[in-house]
Structure 1
Amino acid sequence: MKELKSLIQEIKDRRPRPVYFFHGEEPYFMDVFSDYLEEHLLLEEEKGFNQTILYGKELKVDALVEQLKRFPMMSEYQVVIVKEGQHLARTVDQLQAYIENPLPSTILMVNYKGKKLDKRKKLYKALAKSGFLFESKKLYESEISAWLSRRSKEKGLQCSPKAVALLVEYLGTDLSLIENELEKLRLAIGEGKPVDAQQIETYVGISKDFNNFELKKALGEKDFGKAGTILNYFASNPNAHPMVVTLGFLHTYFSQLSRYHALSDKSAPAVAKALRVNPYFVKEYQIAARHYPLKKLSGILQELRRIDGLSKGVGASGWPARELYKELMLCFTR
């Protein structure tokens, strides 16, 4: 979120806006800004009288407005941060009059998490017009790897492409969780040090040998012995390796291989851009495409959908994890 960096710079330069109203589905970005504002705008000796943290569940808007209209004591600003502001949804419109004429010495931050403010509301229009409204958007899955790679560099870590892939596969799209694990790596390894798969296994707890990333690679190379070993491990640890996650991961991979066959330009840069993968992994797709022609891929994708149905009780019920993983292996070896 480039806008986030710009907003943080405003705080650094002591040019805060009187209102910051964050809404949207991604809590990470609003938490980053809220925490920065809480920590850095006021001096420690100013915070006791001039910084107030409120929670939407326990808050009435009229009481909030009364707080906002107070003047700071021995400080240039007072800071009011409303966390869990989404719980004010029914009464939040009552803020409109204040938003249209905010007190310059009060800095209001509202975290309106998990939902967007209704565009039809007068409050939305007032916030948007004044430049006080900021949408915290969820990143697409295809954007997570690039974001994680940038964030790790900002923390002084040198994550290899494989390390990034492992972290994304294991941590998913939860940016707060990713942030915590990167911080854990920074503290354990130190800034400026390379991060590889072995360190990921040691400090984050992701097996470098038994994961969906290694399963995908083994299947792409038609190393069915290794793939079978990984699937047997998954079957023995179904809670740590949910079938639904593996099926989704493999469906994405084999769908990408189908798109690869349709590309007219199969150069590494073109493939990386079209499939939204790191150029480091393009060779794996080139190898896999030789093993899986389009007709074979069509059959595999159909089987993956069938097994997904079985795992959810469609057409049959009570399939144990081990039997489902056997079915999964058969769809590649038939």
Structure 2
Amino acid sequence: MDYKTAVKELGKRKINPIYVCYGSEGYFSDDLIRRLTDALIEPDQRPFAVTKYDLAETPLDTVLEDAETLPFMVPQKLVIASNALFLTGAKESGKVEHRTERLLEYIKSPVDYSVLIFTVTADKLDERKKLVKSLKDSGYLVACGTPSAEELSQWVAARAEKLGFRFDRGALERFVLYVGTSLQTLAQELEKCALFIGQGGVLTEDHVEQLVTRTTEQNVFILIEDIVQLKLDRAFTMLHELIKMKEEPIKILMLIARQFRIMYQVKDLTQQGYSQQQIASQIGVHPYAVKIAAGQAAKYDVRQLARILGDLADLDYRMKSGRVDKVMGLELFMMTLAG
């Protein structure tokens, strides 16, 4: 099952004795653990009822022994174990030995007073392993994968509604463009916006400009968006702001090149018939980034994007060899690109 299904089942008070949360989106696994904690353990009982282990440092035997030990002063307990790499195909570099056959036995007859939660940051588990097959057949696997571009927008809108405000037209897309696709960061920025805008408020694009904290990567992303939309004044303002912030021009150039490389890959794979979700998986970026890159790449054909990448490589060489002033080189590139 996926994260959404697990949350729905929890809402119906259907709670499994074991959960294995896997996937790259740690926010989902953290949220499921929080929901399970709220549903099962009273706040004043949590010091006695919730234990956490890191399987990179603790053997699986210790975790299972804890799960099988009767709870002290509480009716139920949660046992949480992170870094369950033995469920993946990855090689474990640690010296901790995990006797997975013990977990296989536990799955057959789990105790009713403990909920055992494993987490692992991996998009796939190794289904060739008997243990993974057993967990899957028992319905204990919870996929916490990356949401699609549409799901991400829906999640942001729903989260804002829960916090008591809504987005004005165009503001949601700008919000995600500025913040990025990390759910944890998005949640933090949404809470900040909720405090500013108040209950029942409407967040506009101007509010997003004022409130949202942006990384260098996001600023470069916006700079390229402004160039593509021929908003040159904004683009040059953004470039000079980055320079004032002591960002190295070569780093800015590298980030520009990275975005144009993504645009080239998205354009090429789209022409080959790949969906945005497939492209995201193929090139290793978030589906929302693919959606934005597809919009940016619509202004160019594949040959133009290939030429731009060549120009960027040439500019990189000239900047590093001192043949051109770094800031002037970036400005000339932007003017040529806009032209």
Partner of 1:199: 207
CA distance in 2, matches of 1:56, 1:258: 42
- With over 3 angstroms needed to count, the CA separation of the structure-2 counterparts of 1:85 and 1:246, relative to structure 1, is same
SS of residue paired to 1:57: coil
Segment of structure 1 superposing worse, 105-114 or 251-260: 251-260
Partner of 1:131: 139
Query: For structure 2, which runs of at least 5 residues remain unmatched after alignment?
Result: 272-289
Whether the 8 Å contact between 1:255 and 1:301 is mirrored in structure 2 is no
Segment of structure 1 superposing worse, 110-119 or 316-325: 316-325
- With over 3 angstroms needed to count, the CA separation of the structure-2 counterparts of 1:226 and 1:147, relative to structure 1, is same
CA distance in 1, matches of 2:264, 2:29: 36
TM-score normalised by length of structure 2? 0.72
Partner of 2:98: 91
Whether the 8 Å contact between 2:53 and 2:82 is mirrored in structure 1 is yes
Deviation at 1:320, TM superposition (A): 5.8
Deviations 1:223-262 (A, max 9, x none): 545544443444444639833434444566688899999x
Whether the 8 Å contact between 2:165 and 2:200 is mirrored in structure 1 is yes
- Please, what is the CA RMSD of the aligned residues? 4.1
Partner of 1:43: 42
Deviations 1:243-300 (A, max 9, x none): 3434444566688899999xxxxxxxxxxxxx957xxxx9xx8xx97xx675xx7435
Whether the 8 Å contact between 2:319 and 2:329 is mirrored in structure 1 is no
Partner of 2:312: 307
Whether the 8 Å contact between 2:83 and 2:119 is mirrored in structure 1 is yes
Task: Specify the code of the residue in structure 2 equivalent to 1:83.
Answer: S
Partner of 1:104: 112
Whether the 8 Å contact between 2:2 and 2:143 is mirrored in structure 1 is no
SS of residue paired to 1:58: coil
Deviation at 1:79, TM superposition (A): 1.6
Deviation at 1:184, TM superposition (A): 1.8
Task: Specify the code of the residue in structure 1 equivalent to 2:312.
Answer: I
CA distance in 1, matches of 2:265, 2:123: 31
Give the 5 Å matches for 1:194-233: 194-206=202-214, 211=219, 215=223, 218-220=226-228, 222-233=230-241
CA distance in 2, matches of 1:204, 1:162: 15
TM-score normalised by length of structure 1? 0.73
1:322 to 314, 327, 333: 327
Q: Which has the higher contact order (CA 8 A, sep 6+)?
A: 2
Deviation at 1:309, TM superposition (A): 6.5
Deviation at 1:158, TM superposition (A): 1.2
Query: For structure 1, which runs of at least 5 residues remain unmatched after alignment?
Result: 262-274
1:119 to 100, 103, 127: 127
Deviations 1:100-134 (A, max 9, x none): 32112211111122464322211101100100011
Give the 5 Å matches for 1:22-171: 22-73=21-72, 75-86=74-85, 91=98, 93=100, 94-114=102-122, 116-139=124-147, 144-171=152-179
